[in-house]
Structure 1
Amino acid sequence: MASFRSALLMVAALTTTIIAPVKAGPAAEPLVSVANATLPTVVVPDLLDPEGQAVLSEPQAPDTDIQLDANDDQATAKPSGDLAAMVAQLRGPEAGTRELDCLATGIYFESKGEPLAGQLAVGKVIANRAGSGGRFPGTYCGVLFQRGQFSFVHGQGLPSVPHSNRQWQTAVAVAKIVDQRLKESAVGNALFFHARYVSPGWGMKRVASIGNHIFYR
């Protein structure tokens, strides 16, 4: 009986030795049989290039914001080429703003039958007046509505123009070119002009003659 009891004690001691936790610090874990062990999942960080930036293993979707910015740049790209090429690129039915609409209206009624250089010159005079620093009103619309300056203006309203009219769309393009200062004009800083068939005797400095108009400073 004593031998059997001793055998039981020995078996218990051996069992305790095998499954007893091994201490590796304050909170050791029990041993697990190798056959039943489950290897932990190890998160492998992305590789780094020499500059310290992560090298992604899979292609990433393009940045939407950056793509939109690129499209915006293309949409707002300035026209190029000579005056005729720029007009072809900017021609359209809508000026876009009230001020540009006034400028285009002035160009249309004063020079729609003139060559493009003549239309540019008329637009430049209107812009010069608006930027003259107090000598004339400071806006395109104000310049047009100044009393006694433009015969096509009556009261405080502009005459209507069919926006499908090609001459109107050309005037819109010229107005944008003048407003954005995309092309220089031979009239420079001229502030006045009149048709060739009149002789007002202004006594001003003549700066250019383009198409059917003579320009003065």
Structure 2
Amino acid sequence: MRLHTGWITGAVAAVILNGAAFADVTVSQSNDPTAALGSTFGALLGTERQAMAALPESRLTELAVGPKIETRTTKGKPAVGAPMVIRYDDAWLAAQPEPSGDAEWECLSKAIYFEARGESLRGQFAVAEVILNRVDSPDYPRTICGVVQQRGGGGCQFSYVCDGRADRMRDAEATWRAERVARVMMDGAPRALTMGATHFHTRWVRPGWARRFPQTAAIGAHLFYRQN
């Protein structure tokens, strides 16, 4: 009975998450509250089945298992213990160890700074997710610096790399955030904001690939997409 109830609860939650409406399902107001229970329950399940059948398999998987959480040490090996839980505020960042790292950490810090320093912390973490998702993809370079500095199509994947300006992080407060976000993400923080996004752009531009890839998130001034 518990298993059956849990299945129904999960199914109803999936329908709600995907915008299904139950306006046509009503409950009897007669003296016998069970009189219309069978038909009401049948209508509910019928609507739920229709909504779930219309969902792509990837979306059903995401609803079933939740966002992918990866926990690593600084050397890229699986870490022991519970996954890191992020709180997206300065107090949480300040409580983390003083950041440091190699050239890869510096490349990620600069990318966060120049691409998202005017965004909220969620927006900065989201940009870091995109870069690390590209590193994990066979379609992109296998290092952070390689991804950030990648060129092609007459330009750069990240605009600040090709803008002709010196890549110096002059804003101390924004540098403080970017370096800590980079360190936390490289240490295995969960990538739970963008659902595997590999691309992003600001709201006031519309690149051609935005029509081909599914949008996964909208955070601050940025829209995020996942390459198929």
The one-letter code matched in structure 1 to 2:216 is V
2:140 maps to amino acid: F
Give the TM-score normalised by structure 1: 0.57
- 2:158 maps to which residue? 150
Structure with the bigger percentage of helix: 2
In structure 2, the partner of 1:209 is 218
Show CA shifts across 1:5-31 (max 9, x none): xxxxxxxxxxxxxxxxxxxxxxxxxxx
SS across alignment from 1:215: strand
Gaps of 5+ in 1: 1-77
Within 2, Cα distance between the matches of 1:103 and 1:90?
17
Q: Which has the larger displacement, 200-209 or 166-175?
A: 200-209
Aligned to 2:124: 119
Query: Residue 79 of structure 1 contacts residue 86 of structure 1 at CA under 8 Å; is this kept in 2?
Result: no
- 1:167 lines up with 2:174 in the alignment: yes
Q: What is the CA distance between 1:102 and its match in structure 2? A: 0.3
- 1:201/1:156 Cα in 2 relative to 1: closer, same or farther (>3 Å)? closer
Q: Specify the code of the residue in structure 1 equivalent to 2:145.
A: C
Bigger Rg, which one = 1
Between the two structures, name the one with larger relative contact order (CA 8 Å, sep ≥ 6): 2
How far off its partner does 1:127 sit?
A: 0.5
CA distance in 1, matches of 2:85, 2:201: 31
Instruction: Give the drift of 1:83.
Output: 2.6
**Among 139, 144, 147, the residue aligned to 1:140:** 144
Aligned Cα root-mean-square deviation (Å): 2.6
Query: In the comparison of the two structures, how many residue pairs are matched?
Result: 137
Residue segments in structure 2 that go unaligned for 5+ positions in a row: 1-82
Distance, in Å, in 2 between the alignment partners of 1:204 and 1:158 is: 32
Local SS of the residue matching 1:214 = strand
Give aligned-pair identity as a percent: 37
Q: Secondary structure at the match of 1:83?
A: coil
Q: 1:12 is matched with which residue?
A: none
Distance 1:151 1:214, change over 3 A: same
Structure-2 change in CA distance of 1:191 and 1:128 (3 Å): same
Contact 1:118 1:210 in 2 (8 A): yes
Opposite residue 142 of structure 1, the aligned amino acid is G
TM-score by length of structure 2 reads: 0.54
1:158-213 per-position Cα deviation (integer Å, ceiling 9, x unaligned): 71224x71101100111112112224332021100000011113221100000100
CA offset at residue 80 of structure 1?
6.4
Alpha-carbon displacement from aligned partner over 1:18-67 (angstroms, at most 9, x marks no partner): xxxxxxxxxxxxxxxxxxxxxxxxxxxxxxxxxxxxxxxxxxxxxxxxxx
Matches for 1:1-217 after TM superposition, within 5 Å: 82-84=87-89, 85-90=91-96, 95-133=100-138, 135-147=139-151, 148-154=156-162, 159-162=167-170, 165-202=172-209, 203-217=212-226
